[in-house]
Structure 1
Amino acid sequence: MTRATFMLKSCFSGKLASWVLLTALIFSFSTLATADRLTVYTYSSFTSEWGPGAQIKEAFEAQCACQLEYISLDDGVSLLNRLRLEGASTRADVILGLDDALIEEARSLDLVQPHGLELQDFNFKSELAWQDKDFLPFDFGYFAFIYDSETTQPVSSLAALLESDASVIYQDPRTSTPGQGLLVWMKALYGDETADAWSQLRQQTVTVTKGWSEAYSLFLEGEADYVLSYTTSPAYHQIVEETDRYQAAKFSEGHPRQIEVAAISRHAKQKELAGDFLAFLLSETAQEILPVTNWMLPVIEGVDLPEAFGDLIQPQAVGFTPEQIHQQRQQWIREWRSAVSR
């Protein structure tokens, strides 16, 4: 073979290889461009590096031949506020992370549409008694004040907490579902005397944060004796950090229950795919991911949980119906603002 022939063949082989690579890249980009894209609005802790978002995305994309895109906000109430502002211009196909205290407001704002799924196809826990045609639960839990057992002697009631000199961090009820949970908790226990209870708590409050992540981070940095979180939070520390240092104080008056929900946006461009995603959230695959990443309880029966979940406190539920919360929520927020600004 002459040098010229060798060079010609080498040049041809190089161009052929480049052409094959280019063709593969074009095909790959073309496939991505034509794949259905499902846009899910959710809260920031869901999509954090330790949250369930990445695992849920990978597992769903493996079965849907689609792309799942998250758009995240600070917390559930922030999510509702964003959807209210966007209206028909929203990119959301799925709304993930409102809770049962917000479903009537979301419905009244015409933000969602019926999911079209048969509820009897899902083995929901009987305590949830779920019958909603627009929203589906994907996990649930109970609000609680978390404390560091190495530095704090726990109180056994909300009344005792308010009468103590313990410092507290909680979340803003205007932007956060845990903050709204405390709003419900205070009203359920104190009724007409709730404003006085808020004024008492104000004396102990280190700060009020926009969302859960910021509040919990400050607590772990030692900024307060208690932080508003969930009865399931200790399971995270026990499983991930192998410590039982952080515990939930069990209150004799009871604890509010939160059911986190997902729904199809009224303006969804991928309605069928959105329905598939909602059904996936109730699959055994997703329900096994959520407890050990979102640190909440599964909504269906038969999900195996790590041993640490058996050590959690088992509170009595207190609170109001979604309809009652919807009717009174804005008034309760005004009452809170007035009391804490005195």
Structure 2
Amino acid sequence: MKTVLTFCCALTLSTLAGAADLRVYTYDSFVSEWGPGPQLEQAFEQHCGCDLEFVAVEDGVSILNRLRIEGEGNKADVILGIDDGLMEETRATGLIRPHGVDTSGLRPELDWSDNSFLPFDYGYFAFVYDSTRVEEPVTSLQALIASDASVIYQDPRTSTPGQGLMMWVKAVYGDKAADAWQQLAGHTVTVTKGWWEAYSLFLEGDADYVLSYSTSPAYHVVAEQKTRYRAAEFSEGHVAQIELAAVTRTSRNPELAQSFLAFLISPEAQQIIPVTNWMLPVIHGVQLPQVFGDLIRPTRIGFTPQQMAAERRDWIREWRSASTR
């Protein structure tokens, strides 16, 4: 309740101050016609009397790359789509300010206390397959890498799912990760810049498995009434992703930016996000379609944001070297 009150108060202040533009850097699938962007934009603009503009790039890593390139000259008030694996590197740019949003209503399992980055959804990376094509899915990451099944995944330099796979391989293989990448390269169809390109190719039948999310099958059931697409549950566990929003230090209207972040974790927005971005809500009390209860429930493995920030460059070099041999 406190979060909702904070959100309403912030909106009142921004409305009294007059209409203002708010520019949000995010990723392309977020603003697609079936993504959450259009509905969130309409709902927020009704509250604030402002003009919300989304500026999209390929994926979450690309948001960080754009922020770095533009530096102090960036035009974003908010970045939306950086994940916890990129949090510390984004903080290190010096371009993020404290968000000022109350987070006491977030789900306890997130264990969130950071005052600069705000979760708006979360999920688990998973390999999705078509059950009409793959009759006996693999049950571990090691089995997938050792198989001859065709795979599509995303580049860890530009994509948060690709980065998630990099963490996943490192968590499972440790010092043997380079060998695993080299083995996977033998049956990888392609490595794409972002999630949408990879998933589109998969849906066209170009691979047996695609790197996506444990929640991806819910979309096909709810939107298409198709139960053929499923996520393989791996015995080693799965790497989680917490997607984040943050206010830039260079924002032209930080109060309005803060109110947008508060809106993202309000019941109104959280009701929209899971069934458009196909991830899990960050607050309790959100009514979800029944299929969400049927999804796999992975065991979480991986690394802390601090570990990821310290090791990311070395792991990318390892991936590049091994996957191109």
TM-score (norm 2): 0.94
For residues 322-337 of structure 1, what are the structure 2 equivalents within 5 Å? 322-337=305-320
* Counterpart residue number, 1:18: none
* Counterpart residue number, 2:246: 263
Aligned-pair distance for 1:131?
A: 0.2
Which residue among 117, 122, 130 is the counterpart of 2:112?
130
Aligned-pair distance for 1:307?
A: 0.5
Whole-angstrom CA distance in 1 between matches of 2:166 and 2:141 = 13
Unpaired stretches in structure 1, ≥5 consecutive residues: 1-33
Check whether the contact 2:161–2:195 (CA below 8 A) recurs between aligned residues: yes
Percent of aligned pairs with the same amino acid: 64
User: Which digits, 9 at most, give the CA deviation of each residue in 1:16-42, with x for residues without a partner?
Assistant: xxxxxxxxxxxxxxxxxx730000000
* Counterpart residue number, 1:321: 304
Aligned-pair distance for 1:91?
A: 0.6
* Counterpart residue number, 2:52: 68
Whole-angstrom CA distance in 1 between matches of 2:25 and 2:71 = 13
* Counterpart residue number, 1:186: 169
SS at structure 2 position matched to 1:40: strand
* Counterpart residue number, 1:239: 222
Whole-angstrom CA distance in 1 between matches of 2:317 and 2:189 = 21
Check whether the contact 2:107–2:282 (CA below 8 A) recurs between aligned residues: yes
Which residue among 189, 206, 211 is the counterpart of 1:228?
211
User: Which digits, 9 at most, give the CA deviation of each residue in 1:228-259, with x for residues without a partner?
Assistant: 00000000000001011000000000000000
Whole-angstrom CA distance in 1 between matches of 2:167 and 2:229 = 24
Which residue among 131, 137, 140 is the counterpart of 1:149?
131
Aligned-pair distance for 1:126?
A: 1.1
Which residue among 68, 89, 103 is the counterpart of 2:87?
103
Check whether the contact 2:19–2:48 (CA below 8 A) recurs between aligned residues: no
Whole-angstrom CA distance in 2 between matches of 1:194 and 1:323 = 20
* Counterpart residue number, 1:208: 191
Aligned-pair distance for 1:124?
A: 1.0
SS at structure 2 position matched to 1:119: coil
* Counterpart residue number, 2:101: 117
User: Which digits, 9 at most, give the CA deviation of each residue in 1:260-291, with x for residues without a partner?
Assistant: 00000111011000000000000001000001
Aligned-pair distance for 1:223?
A: 0.3
* Counterpart residue number, 1:79: 63
Q: RMSD value over aligned CA atoms?
A: 0.7
Whole-angstrom CA distance in 1 between matches of 2:289 and 2:94 = 39
Amino acid at match of 1:73: V
Whole-angstrom CA distance in 2 between matches of 1:35 and 1:69 = 13
Whole-angstrom CA distance in 2 between matches of 1:126 and 1:257 = 15
User: Which digits, 9 at most, give the CA deviation of each residue in 1:168-220, with x for residues without a partner?
Assistant: 00000000000000000000010000000000000010000000000000000
* Counterpart residue number, 2:323: 340
* Counterpart residue number, 1:196: 179
Whole-angstrom CA distance in 2 between matches of 1:150 and 1:172 = 27
Aligned-pair distance for 1:162?
A: 1.2
Whole-angstrom CA distance in 1 between matches of 2:60 and 2:288 = 25
Amino acid at match of 1:45: S
Whole-angstrom CA distance in 1 between matches of 2:211 and 2:292 = 19
Q: How many residues align?
A: 307
SS at structure 1 position matched to 2:321: helix
SS at structure 2 position matched to 1:91: coil
SS at structure 2 position matched to 1:39: strand
Whole-angstrom CA distance in 2 between matches of 1:118 and 1:312 = 30
Larger Rg: 1
Unpaired stretches in structure 2, ≥5 consecutive residues: 1-17
Whole-angstrom CA distance in 2 between matches of 1:222 and 1:186 = 25
Aligned-pair distance for 1:163?
A: 1.4
Whole-angstrom CA distance in 2 between matches of 1:119 and 1:176 = 27
Whole-angstrom CA distance in 1 between matches of 2:248 and 2:56 = 15
* Counterpart residue number, 2:78: 94
Whole-angstrom CA distance in 1 between matches of 2:95 and 2:127 = 32
TM-score (norm 1): 0.89
